[in-house]
Chain A
Amino acid sequence: MTTSTHQKHLLTSVQMAHFVAHGSLRMDAVVPAEMNEQAIAVLDAGIPAVPYGTPLADTFEPGSLPERLVQLPEVAGAIRSLVGPDPVVDHHAVHIRKAHEGEAQNLHADAIIDVREDAFDVQLMYYPQEVTLEMGGTLSVPGSHLRRTNESDTGRYQNLLGQSRLTCPAGTVVFLHHGIWHGGRRNDSDVDRYMFKIRFNPTVRQVRLWDTDDLYDEGVAAELNTRFPWYETATGRLEIYNRAKLWQALTGDDTADPDYWVTRVSNRPRRVVAQRSLNPHAARKEMA
């Protein structure tokens, strides 16, 4: 990964705000066809595991398909923007959902409940084939990543209004926040479905790691104010509040609050303007 490569392809502030709101960022057909054509055989053969926390630079064989994947300029730029330089690989895994496989995964968030407010992990998901609805592309729930739930405790939820049932062209990469609710859907097609996943842990503070030239673009506020159809009316407002808090952490600016949800409930003025004679505490003191 060269510095010049990822600097040209850093995410914009609007894209980062999209990630903060949705908990995901999708890059359609970003991987070249010749890599996609090699991918099925590579994934079938398996990709050697590494210990938890291995530096990305040491994770994959030089010249191997996964190394070329993370070095694609758009992919490298997104990784750099989301988790910064020199991330470590938590783990990686090949997921194959067989043709006519009988069951869908329960809706879940990976690992265990993770309530960090100023840091997050990112999962890269690479789909080397075109994914159709029948192939059971990953189900994910936009805007669910800040909900405090543990792994598959959400398994009771089968469908949520506005959920995303992934269909995509070959070579699509999706970046997911660690907390997003998701699951592999039942594959009702005649084709085995392949997906390769890498989880990245940051090794730096995730502050202004992207291209911030458009930090005050009105598209940022629009993204942060996105409502999703499955949100309950009242709790949906708390989602906007929590997004603003995350945006403040990522920008290093605790005044960033485009829709005023945080500012309003944090406002506790200390300046006293009442005359002494109208101050009940002062009055008691004088009577004593």
Chain B
Amino acid sequence: MTAATQPQAVQQDLRQQVLVLYLASSALDAKVVGWSTYDGTGATTPTTGDSDVPPYTTGLDALKDGWRLFQAAQLLPPHPGHEYDTSFLKHEFFFEKLVAV
């Protein structure tokens, strides 16, 4: 294996597991109020309504367990005239783990 082909080989051996946490505020150490998981290894098939217990109590707890944060929801002001509207969950954090297969 040459140095030029090594990254491709590594890529083929890794799969991404994604954890999405919805938190009670914009702080990463706030309480988890919603969660979703997607498993790029195919070993598990998480789906809608499959658990009543969150995987972590806070977003920070996910970091402590080795999940890497790769996206956090922006803080956007409400549109004028729609300050009291509610819609999607605001505090969405995407985490990943890279798993060897």
Contacts and interface: CB of A to CB of B under 8 A. Distances in A.
A154 B37 CA distance: 15
A160 B48 CA distance: 10
A107 B48 contact: yes
Nearest to A115: B85
A160 B33 contact: yes
B25 interface: yes
Interface string A232-273: 111100110110000000000000000000000000000000
Contacts of B91: 232
Interface stretch (A27-35, A42-50, A61-69, A144-152): A144-152
A156 interface: yes
Interface residues of A, number: 36
Determine chain A's interface SS by DSSP, over half rule.
loop
A98 interface: no
Contacts of B30: 233
Interface in A146-174: 146-149, 153-161, 163, 165
A174 B18 CA distance: 35
Given A158-B36, A229-B33, A232-B25, A104 B84 contact: no
Interface string B13-57: 000000010111100001011111100000000111111101000
B33 A163 contact: no
